């Protein structure tokens, strides 16, 4: 059985955000910014000659927490608030662990910063790779046809597509 600490329940969201910022700075990233608007949060930074932006949807209430004058105020409302707070703490902790793993892989030379955060690379025009490719991938799966990404590269003789 896991303890609350290993699940991230006991670590504040702020501590996890601070950990993410410090880990990125320790890696050598610059212009690290964490922001929030509504139930969406973003982490932006520069590193390896690229800009990155990670946008995540935070766990949120089903709307029943903030109904003023509702009979659910009191113990039930407090219980729901605690559950939501714990979910948000776990979310930030999991994101911090994920970013630590990506930075660890890049530091060890197992991968590059760009390959670990490829979906979050900001392209000219301010959209991320994920924002650009997600509709293309969805369309390919719906149609069953291989998507065409720009000019198709010629095959090299003797190079197999599978490993």
Handedness of CA 10, 12, 15, 19 (dihedral sign): positive
Task: Tell me what pLDDT residue 148 has.
Answer: 78
Task: Tell me what pLDDT residue 31 has.
Answer: 98
Q: Which residue has the tokens 């090299």?
A: 156
Among 81, 82, 85, residue whose Cα is nearest residue 93: 85
- Predicted confidence (pLDDT) per residue in 121-157, tens digit: 999 999 999 999 999 999 999 999 998 776 554 555 5
pLDDT of 42 strictly over 90: yes
Task: Tell me what pLDDT residue 71 has.
Answer: 53
Element holding 44 (H helix, E strand): strand 40-47
Task: Tell me what pLDDT residue 62 has.
Answer: 63
Q: Give the separation between CA 88 and CA 40, rounded to whole angstroms.
A: 12
pTM beyond 0.85, yes or no: no
Q: What is the DSSP string of 102-127?
A: HHHHHHHTSS-HHHHTGGGBBPTTS-
Those residues with Cβ within 8 angstroms of residue 108's Cβ, 6 or more apart along the chain or in another chain: none
Task: Tell me what pLDDT residue 150 has.
Answer: 62
Those residues with Cβ within 8 angstroms of residue 75's Cβ, 6 or more apart along the chain or in another chain: none
- Predicted confidence (pLDDT) per residue in 55-100, tens digit: 999 988 765 444 455 555 677 778 888 889 999 999 999 999 999 9
Task: Tell me what pLDDT residue 94 has.
Answer: 95
Domain ranges across the chain: 4-59+69-131
What φ, ψ does residue 45 adopt, rounded to 5°?
-165, 165
- Predicted confidence (pLDDT) per residue in 1-24, tens digit: 455 445 556 789 999 999 999 999
Residue 111, CA distances (Å) to 58, 104, 115, 116 in order: 28, 9, 6, 7
């Amino acid at each position: 059985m896991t303890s609350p600490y290993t699940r991230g329940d006991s670590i504040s969201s702020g501590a996890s955000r601070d950990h993410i910022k410090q880990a990125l700075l320790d890696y050598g990233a610059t212009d690290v910014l964490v922001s929030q608007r509504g139930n969406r949060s973003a982490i932006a930074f520069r590193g390896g000659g690229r800009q990155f932006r990670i946008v995540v949807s935070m766990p949120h209430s089903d709307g029943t927490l903030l109904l003023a004058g509702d009979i659910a105020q009191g113990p039930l409302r407090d219980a729901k608030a605690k559950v939501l707070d714990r979910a948000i703490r776990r979310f930030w902790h999991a994101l911090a662990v994920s970013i630590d793993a990506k930075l660890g892989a890049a530091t060890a030379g197992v991968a590059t910063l760009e390959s670990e955060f490829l979906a979050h690379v900001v392209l000219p025009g301010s959209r991320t790779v994920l924002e650009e490719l997600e509709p293309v991938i969805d369309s390919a799966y719906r149609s069953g046809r291989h998507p065409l990404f720009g000019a198709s590269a010629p095959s090299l003789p003797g190079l197999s597509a599978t490993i």
